[in-house]
Each structure stands twice: as C-alpha cells, then as structure tokens.
Amino acid sequence: MKTLILGGAGFIGLHLARNLLADGHRVTIADDFSRGRDDPALASVDAEVLHADLTRPDGFRDLPHGWDQVYLLAAVVGVRNVERDPARVVRVNSLVVLNTLDWIRPGERLFFASTSEVYAGGVSAGTVPVPTPENVPLTVRDVTAPRFAYGVSKMLGEAAVVHTARARGFPCVIGRFHNVYGPRMGESHVIPEVALRALRGEDPFWVYGAEQSRAFCHVDDAVDAIRRLMVPGVAEGRIVHIGNDGEETNIGDLTKLVLRVVGHDPGITYAPAPAGSVARRCPDLRLLRSLTGYEPAVRLEDGVRNTVAWYAGDRTAAPG
C-alpha cells in the first residue's frame, strides 16, 4: 500500500516506517526534522523523505494525494518540552492536526496518535479507574498547569479528527498510547533517562517517585497494534488504547531492573515524584483485544535490555 507518515522521523514514526517497508509498503515520510536531518537512523530507511513544516498550511503544498494510509504522529512530546514551553506544545500540536484535516481527502485512511495523558486529570482526582477503559470522562483539573498542555492538545486533536472524519467521510482511527518506550525515543523519558544515568555511573543514584506505577509498552508491540487497528473495517471511528497491561511495575522496581541490566550497583536515594505526575497508569486493553486479537509480545526485561543496549551504543539491538 501507499503510506504517508506525518512525523515519520520521530520515535514511533521511524519504527513504523521500518515495519511497513519490511512488509512491502511504499512509504513516504514527511517531517520538520526537529530531531536532525542527519540522523543515521533516518538515513538507513529506504523511504521517500520530505521536509515539511506541518504547522503551516503551505507545508502540505508539495504532499501529493492518493494515500491508502496516513499516520499522523507529528507532535511535541516529552515532559521537559511540555514544562519548558507549554504554549509551543499547544500551538504545534493543534496546528498540525488542523492543517492535516484541511488537507486530507475522502478515502485516505487516517491514524491519529493520542495519549494516556488525557486521563491524567481524572486519575489524579480519583474519578477515573486504573486500569482505565476508553469510555471514561476526560477531565482537566487545572488548565493553567503546564503539564496539562500536552493532554489538552491531544483532546483537541481527537475531537477535531472524529468530527471532521464524520463530516467529510474519511475513515479514521485514534490510538491512545500508554507509556511506549524503546530505542531512539529521546532522553527525557523515564527508561532512557534512568539508563543513561546508570551508564554514566551515577552514584548515589536518585530515584523519583519510586512508588508510582506504569505499564510500559515496547515500541515493537505498539507498531503491531497500530497496524492491526488500521486494517479496513476493524476500528473505523474508534478511540482505542495501545499499550501493554501485562507487566505493570513501579518506578522503583523498574529502576532496579535497569541498573541490573546496565551492571551498575550504586547507592539509591529516593525522592518525591515530579509535581503533577499521576500515581498510576495502566490501560484496559479489552477493546483492542476484541477488535484485533492483539497481545503484547515483548517482555519488559527484554524490552529494557533492547533499549539499554541501544543507548549504550549497540544500534543493532533487538528485543528478542
């Protein structure tokens, strides 16, 4: 099939591109290359690569039509980016989705990448259960709090995609990602951040929010779920979780796993969790399973070993 990945030079986008190419798809990547055009991982992908500022309507001017699938993954992500410049997060993420919806044509199947952050307000308020199903109310506890900027931008994106798709008659799927991790995801997420500090030999080793728990999903499993959801007739117009509910862990135990994989045995100093972070996050995957038969395949330890190896310099590491 003919596939366009908006934001295809990013973390999940490049893994998805490789998977699609291996399956014989013709893939085009459109990106602003905020991660760097000279990234060797991008250079190794046999796809057409286009520069496009997707926050501008004219950024779509040179993008042709006739796509079987369009994946909208472009966004500003990461807690540090959100807290440093929440206005940029709202602006970029909103403009990208609105411009995409102005550009896309009927018949071009759209996948929109959303996030478990849309539940943060409800989980923190105790009004949303964990594991969390897709049909709970979304709550913004404090619209002025910088950390909510990312979740709010994705709520807007979801609403825009659903209503525009209905009005204009193109198929869409919204995937809410839950703590996806893996090689090349940047340095400001918990697993690579802990791994890099361990690889540098930090001692004493600071652990923040050790009691908080997460259900981490390796990027290979996330890509598998995305592709299953994009099969015609499977999930049109649906909002579906993408994650791994089988190995929920707290941050303290995750840190010990990373330290063991690295082979670093420091003294550990515990500190409170960052302000505004939720105590627990885990998806209810019953809808994803019922629609697609998906089951996560990458064990947490295997995925952590794969990720740590990549950050240690082994760019050929595989999760096993």
Spatial distance between the Cα atoms of 50 and 7, rounded to a whole number of angstroms: 10
- DSSP letters spanning 38-81: T-HHHHTS-SEEEE--TTSGGGGTT-----SEEEE-----SHHH
DSSP 137: P
Q: At what angle do helices 251-262 and 190-199 cross, to 10 degrees?
A: 40
Q: 88: closest CA among 150, 144, 32?
A: 150
Task: Say if pTM beats, i.e. exceeds, 0.75.
Answer: yes
pLDDT in tens, the chain (320 residues): 999 999 999 999 999 999 999 999 999 999 998 865 667 777 778 999 999 999 999 999 989 999 999 999 999 988 788 889 999 999 999 999 999 999 999 999 999 999 999 999 999 999 999 999 999 999 998 999 988 999 999 999 999 999 999 999 999 999 999 999 999 998 889 999 999 999 999 999 999 999 999 999 999 999 999 999 999 999 999 999 999 999 999 999 999 999 999 999 999 999 999 888 899 999 999 999 999 999 999 999 999 999 999 999 976 666 64
Write down the pLDDT at residue 318: 63
Tokens of 162: 């659903």
Alpha-carbon distances, residue 170 vs 25, 70, 79, 156, 225 (angstroms): 21, 11, 33, 18, 21
DSSP code of residue 120: H
Q: 50: Cβ–Cβ under 8 A, 6 or more apart, which residues?
A: 28, 29, 30, 31, 62, 63
Bond prior to 131 in cis (omega within 30° of 0): yes
Coil/strand/helix, residue 28: strand
List, in order of start, the domains of the chain with CATH numbers: 2-181+216-245+281-297 (3.40.50.720)
